[in-house]
């Protein structure tokens, strides 16, 4: 590791955090509620427009896009951030991390366990953070090359298309609920039967909602609605997967060894969060659509800071990191995504 004054780094980043958290208030509460309102409007106008496709197919297209937008807002800006506890200070029962559930196949509490704990605490530590490659892709030399890596680009495409199911199955895969030998050092927080029950219950409800209930409610327009929901889910899957891959798998993002996090200080933890993440530049609405995962570095430094503040703290964080000579990985969407694709292909081979 470089010669960095970690204590100073920690105190400077802490100062940004405390300063910003001190400002959090009505503005942030109003912001998240306004996103929820937009989500509701998109969802219901989308669902209604899907049924008007028989008048003019373009209405159906608009419906699909609105429904996809609603799902993206729900999953990214609302769900992800609320479940991080970013808005718990509001004491609002509808917007707190203990009860929030999202419009996606993955059971919220399962995600809460794996993502908030494993991924955010042990970011990019090989062997600890299963989000690195999701156990499917080889994205660094830390993993031995296997023959299946040759076609991992197609594995990646499949994962993107079915992303909500990948997220949903994530914890069950780690716990070896269905297949594989249980790892000895892994102490599950929840029993296998609970995991299975929650997995099937949430997944089934999502399938029934999108592919049975709403199509049936549409009567003769069954197929219009069914197809619309399918495409909307697909768009959401591709978008979330793409954004999430840009957050940790650009070529610049680094991995760490388990030894690295033993007795880690706050400063070292911050350092690892920065190097393990990358940002995407964009306009305000772009950041909202990514659930502010485009500010991945800030999100990883301050996972429970309200997302409404990430755009504001980003330049401050960048300035502090620059002062300490620490790289700040950012770039346009095009640049970052190209970089991800290159990395996936690069590590397909030895």
Partner 1 sequence: MMTQVLNQFSKWFLHHQSFAGYIEPVMQVFKPAWRAGQFRAQVVSTAVLDGGFLSVQLKPSKQWQAHTSGQHISLTVEINGRLLTRVFTVASSAKQFKNTGLVRLLIKTNAQGRFTGLLSSALKAGLWCNISAPSGDFVFKNTHTPATFIAGGSGITPMLAMLDDYLGQTTQKVSLVYYAKATEHQCVDELSELAAQFEHFSFLLLTREQSSDITSNIKPWENPDIYCCGPAAFMQTVSDFAKTHKLNYYQEAFGLALPTLNDDSQFNVKINASAHVVSGNDVLLTQFEEKKLPVKRGCGIGICHQCQCIKKSGVVRNLKTGELSDNGEQLIQLCVSQPVSDLELQL
List of residues contacting partner 1 (CB under 8 A): 18, 21, 24-30, 33-34, 36-37, 40-41, 84-85, 88-94, 96-103, 108, 112-113, 116-117, 120-121, 189, 205, 208-209, 213, 303-304
User: Between 36 and 161, whose beta carbon lies closer to partner 1?
Assistant: 36
User: Between 112 and 287, whose beta carbon lies closer to partner 1?
Assistant: 112
User: 42-80 b/e with 16+ CB inside 10 Å = b?
Assistant: bbebbbebbbbbeeeeebbebbbbbbbbbbbbbbbbbbb
225: Cβ contacts below 8 Å, ≥ 6 apart: 47, 50, 51, 214, 215, 217, 218
Minimum distance from residue 57 beta carbon to partner 1 (Å): 27
Which residue, 293, 208, 226, is CA-closest to 63? 226
User: Between 9 and 82, whose beta carbon lies closer to partner 1?
Assistant: 82
**CA-to-CA separations, 113 to 117, 168, 258, 267, 325, in angstroms, rounded:** 6, 12, 20, 24, 34
Which residue, 229, 340, 225, is CA-closest to 280? 340
Minimum distance from residue 270 beta carbon to partner 1 (Å): 12
Minimum distance from residue 73 beta carbon to partner 1 (Å): 12
Question: How many CB atoms are closer than 10 A to CB 132?
Answer: 25
Minimum distance from residue 48 beta carbon to partner 1 (Å): 15
Minimum distance from residue 118 beta carbon to partner 1 (Å): 9
User: Between 3 and 91, whose beta carbon lies closer to partner 1?
Assistant: 91
User: Between 160 and 298, whose beta carbon lies closer to partner 1?
Assistant: 298
């Amino acid at each position: 590791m470089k010669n960095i004054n970690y204590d100073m780094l920690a105190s400077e980043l802490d100062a940004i955090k405390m300063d910003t958290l001190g400002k959090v208030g009505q503005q942030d509460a109003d912001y998240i509620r306004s996103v929820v309102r937009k989500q509701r409007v998109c969802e219901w106008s989308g669902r209604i427009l899907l049924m008007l496709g028989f008048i003019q197919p373009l209405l159906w297209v608009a419906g699909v896009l609105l429904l996809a937008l609603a799902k993206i807002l729900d999953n990214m800006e609302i769900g992800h951030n609320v479940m991080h506890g970013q808005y718990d200070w509001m004491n609002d029962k509808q917007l707190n991390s203990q009860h929030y559930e999202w419009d996606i196949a993955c059971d919220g509490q399962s995600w809460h366990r794996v993502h908030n704990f494993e991924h955010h605490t042990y970011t990019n530590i090989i062997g600890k953070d299963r989000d690195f490659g999701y156990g499917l892709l080889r994205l660094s030399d830390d993993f031995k090359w296997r023959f299946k890596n040759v076609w991992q680009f197609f594995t990646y495409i499949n994962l993107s298309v079915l992303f909500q199911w990948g997220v949903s199955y994530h914890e069950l895969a780690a716990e070896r609920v269905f297949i594989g030998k249980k790892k000895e050092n892994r102490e599950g927080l929840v029993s296998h039967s609970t995991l299975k029950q929650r997995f099937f219950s949430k997944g089934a409800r999502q399938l029934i909602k999108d592919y049975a209930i709403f199509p049936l409610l549409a009567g003769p327009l069954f197929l219009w609605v069914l197809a619309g929901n399918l495409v909307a889910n697909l768009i959401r899957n591709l978008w979330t997967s793409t954004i999430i891959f840009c957050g940790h798998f650009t070529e610049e993002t680094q991995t760490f060894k388990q030894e690295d996090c033993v007795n880690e200080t706050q400063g070292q933890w911050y350092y690892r969060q920065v190097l393990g993440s990358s940002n995407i530049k964009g306009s305000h609405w772009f950041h909202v659509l990514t659930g502010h995962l485009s500010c991945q570095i800030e999100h990883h430094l301050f996972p429970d800071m309200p997302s409404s503040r990430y755009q504001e703290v980003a330049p401050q964080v960048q300035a502090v990191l620059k002062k300490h000579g620490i790289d700040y990985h950012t770039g346009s969407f095009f640049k970052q995504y190209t970089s991800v694709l290159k990395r996936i292909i690069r590590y397909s081979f030895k």
